Structure 1
Amino acid sequence: MAPPSTFVDSMALQEVMISSPPDIKPTSSNINDAAPAGGRRVFKAIEPAFVPINGVYGGHLLGQAVYAAYKTVDKSFYCHSITGHFLVGGKPKIPFIYTVETLRQGKTYCTRNVLVRQPNPTDPRPLDSEVVFFATVSFKTVEPRGLESQVPPPKELKQWVSNPKQSELAPAVDVPSWIEYVKHKGIQPYYTGVEIRKIDVEEENRSRPLHEHRKVQIYRPVGPLPSEEQSALSICTHIYASDRNGLFAVSAPHNASDNILHAGSLSHTIVFHANPNKLLFSDTDKEDDPSSWAILEQLGDSASEGRGLLRARIWSADGTLLASAIQDALIRVQVDNGGNNGKRKQTFGESLKSLL
């Protein structure tokens, strides 16, 4: 099956009805109707999620969970924060099912809980299957102008987006051994739904302490966003991109990315700061226009206890701080220098080398 060609296709959902015993069937109800207080609605992904190598990309789950939650709120609300927890690795090609529960429906704030499952097609009780991911999504209404302040943008920000197409597409896995592997195999970099390009900041990172090394990427959705869902899908684009290659902002400063044994997100929180009008992607056809791109700046604040803490900021091309993110990740690396007489688990780099 070919990957979806646009972000709209990548996020596409079909609402399904719930029967008892728990089963799912297509429904003809209006997918954009708000959920009743205390109610729940169920949506099934139409297209497969992006798979960088073997596992499903976590940003897809984050973005699509929020998109499903958007289907249950009034159009006056926009997502201002999400916290997601990754419980079990997703499986390629099996559709995800999103159950959206209404936790609270207020006048200016409302909250949704999203449970994500991936049952086998033959499972007779799909809504009783294992939860692989869950998220709490908070929405709010736009407010009159009030307090306004933010940290200053990076001094290099305008340079990062001055010539977007001159930056290379971000690799599926930003690890030296993977980059060498795809070059040797002639595999072309590609993106699904969101075009993400990597900014070269290696030279400046050499003079920085480990915790101040930065990873910088710029991104935009692929294809136009329909006007009636432009705000929702723009915010989902930011959420989708926020997880891309972030773990390597922790391992790369240690030159340990090739030595990874096991890595994956544990939790991921994003908080939006800007008015939703500032979050819009509206000029996706103007590929060389800096204003049509957003900037993701990632830093690995901590590495300890087999985990890493990633902190990220999302900027607009004009220097507005759009969002902040924090990610707790599992990162286990090989540090025994090849001991245990070859009985130890292969590192990521060693696995790829064996395939050359």
Structure 2
Amino acid sequence: MPSTTDELLALLDLETIDDNLFRGIQLPSMLPRVYGGQVAAQAVVAAARTVEPGYALHSLHSYFLQPGDTEARIIYDVEKLRDGRSFTTRRVLARQHGRPIFVMTVDLARDEESWDHQDRMPDYVPDPESCLDPRTVVSPGQRFDEWDVADIRYAGSSADLLPEDAERPGRQRVWLKVGTDLPDDPLIQAAAFVYGSDMALLGAAYAPHGLRFADGKSMAASLDHAVWFHRPFRADDWWLYDQHSPSMSGARALVNARVFTQDGRLVASVAQEALIRKRDPRRNG
């Protein structure tokens, strides 16, 4: 996984193999499977490479089908579903070893005039500089250097720091930004955000149960991932990830999230369902 902005940009610089066919590199990783945000970000780039100028990323809906091999390159096969005057749609299938590991539908849209409203940013959220860097309180032996391409600050959850809310027991807020000094290219900014959007997302589901991802009591895997882009923003500036988990049952947890810039603009929404299982203490790791 990338630990620097240059490495992230290298991941997003896909090789063109043929018409609508691309290949993404891998970086060394200690993870047992390819990080979902990487596959999603590379798929976004592959889709956008097949679209005429003038369209910006509007939404994506994706499913993680199989665990990805961290030592094999990923092939992205793009299918053109629609080329309209206002919207254009692509389907991206990611493969390794001849089998599909991920599928995404991507919608891009032209900007146009409209009415405007948005949710208000939550009150009393501390500045990122005042919040805890979770990597400073990890247990001995845990490594988080693979996440160094992102800067994360913990602002609280329903387990601590946030006021009690009986109607919404699963909540978490973190500040996050991806890299530093990314190019101004809107596609790179959007893809970098998609890369970071899979980070720290399940904390809202863990919070009501007194759990944390790093405590080793559970295993988790993303099942699907959706993003809606509302307004332009930069992924390399701080954004607030305001997360809410309305339900966990049957080993599946749903998390919805609103994304705000520091000046209070609602710029994106994210939804993810994940598999979260209790780890068998009799099994090593």
Normalised by the length of structure 2, the TM-score is 0.87
Residue of structure 2 in register with 1:167 after alignment = 132
CA distance in structure 1 between the aligned counterparts of 2:221 and 2:35, rounded to whole angstroms: 10
The unaligned stretches of length 5 or more in structure 1 are 18-39, 120-128, 285-291, 335-344
Structure number with bigger Rg: 1
Aligned identity (percent) is 28
* SS in structure 2 at match of 1:60: helix
Q: How much has 1:239 moved relative to structure 2? A: 1.4
Residue of structure 2 in register with 1:185 after alignment = 141
CA distance in structure 2 between the aligned counterparts of 1:248 and 1:91, rounded to whole angstroms: 25
Structure-2 change in CA distance of 1:97 and 1:254 (3 Å) = same
Residue of structure 1 in register with 2:124 after alignment = 156
Structure-2 change in CA distance of 1:194 and 1:83 (3 Å) = same
* SS in structure 1 at match of 2:154: strand
Residue of structure 2 in register with 1:5 after alignment = 4
The answer to whether the 8 Å contact 1:65/1:135 transfers is yes
The answer to whether the 8 Å contact 1:263/1:332 transfers is yes
CA-to-partner distance for each residue in 1:60-92, whole Å, 9 max, x for gaps?
Answer: 111111111111112200111000101111121
RMSD: 2.7
CA distance in structure 1 between the aligned counterparts of 2:169 and 2:278, rounded to whole angstroms: 20
Q: How much has 1:43 moved relative to structure 2? A: 1.0
Say whether residues 1:140 and 2:109 are aligned partners.
yes
Q: How much has 1:93 moved relative to structure 2? A: 2.2
The answer to whether the 8 Å contact 2:26/2:72 transfers is no
CA-to-partner distance for each residue in 1:39-59, whole Å, 9 max, x for gaps?
Answer: x5111113438x563222111
Superposed, which structure 2 residues align to 1:183-262 within 5 Å?
A: 184-185=140-141, 187=143, 189-201=145-157, 202-205=159-162, 207-209=164-166, 211-227=168-184, 230-257=185-212, 258=215, 260-262=217-219
Structure-2 change in CA distance of 1:221 and 1:204 (3 Å) = closer
Moved more, 189-198 or 242-251: 189-198
CA distance in structure 2 between the aligned counterparts of 1:48 and 1:188, rounded to whole angstroms: 15
Q: How much has 1:259 moved relative to structure 2? A: 6.6
Structure-2 change in CA distance of 1:10 and 1:138 (3 Å) = same
Normalised by the length of structure 1, the TM-score is 0.71
CA distance in structure 2 between the aligned counterparts of 1:330 and 1:140, rounded to whole angstroms: 32
The unaligned stretches of length 5 or more in structure 2 are none
The answer to whether the 8 Å contact 1:84/1:268 transfers is yes
Paired residue total: 280
CA-to-partner distance for each residue in 1:241-283, whole Å, 9 max, x for gaps?
Answer: 2111322321232124447554211111111111x3xx135xx
Residue of structure 2 in register with 1:26 after alignment = none
Q: Which amino acid aligns with 1:149?
A: H
Aligned with 2:248 (options 298, 303, 312): 303
CA distance in structure 2 between the aligned counterparts of 1:46 and 1:132, rounded to whole angstroms: 15
Aligned with 2:74 (options 68, 77, 96): 96
CA distance in structure 1 between the aligned counterparts of 2:167 and 2:40, rounded to whole angstroms: 28
Structure-2 change in CA distance of 1:99 and 1:214 (3 Å) = same
Q: How much has 1:188 moved relative to structure 2? A: 5.6
CA distance in structure 1 between the aligned counterparts of 2:144 and 2:219, rounded to whole angstroms: 25
Q: How much has 1:168 moved relative to structure 2? A: 0.9
* Structure number having the greater helix percentage: 1
CA-to-partner distance for each residue in 1:155-213, whole Å, 9 max, x for gaps?
Answer: 023x233x26x631558xxxx9xx32xxx227464525433333344533473338434
Aligned with 2:281 (options 324, 346, 349): 346
CA distance in structure 1 between the aligned counterparts of 2:87 and 2:53, rounded to whole angstroms: 13
Residue of structure 2 in register with 1:43 after alignment = 22
Q: How much has 1:3 moved relative to structure 2? A: 3.9
CA distance in structure 1 between the aligned counterparts of 2:78 and 2:107, rounded to whole angstroms: 12
CA-to-partner distance for each residue in 1:127-172, whole Å, 9 max, x for gaps?
Answer: xx1100000000000102x211111110023x233x26x631558x
Residue of structure 2 in register with 1:20 after alignment = none
The answer to whether the 8 Å contact 1:8/1:193 transfers is no
The answer to whether the 8 Å contact 1:261/1:346 transfers is no
Q: How much has 1:219 moved relative to structure 2? A: 2.2
* SS in structure 1 at match of 2:70: coil
Q: Which amino acid aligns with 1:132?
A: I
The answer to whether the 8 Å contact 2:3/2:146 transfers is no
The answer to whether the 8 Å contact 1:211/1:302 transfers is no
Moved more, 259-268 or 106-115: 259-268
CA distance in structure 1 between the aligned counterparts of 2:216 and 2:182, rounded to whole angstroms: 40
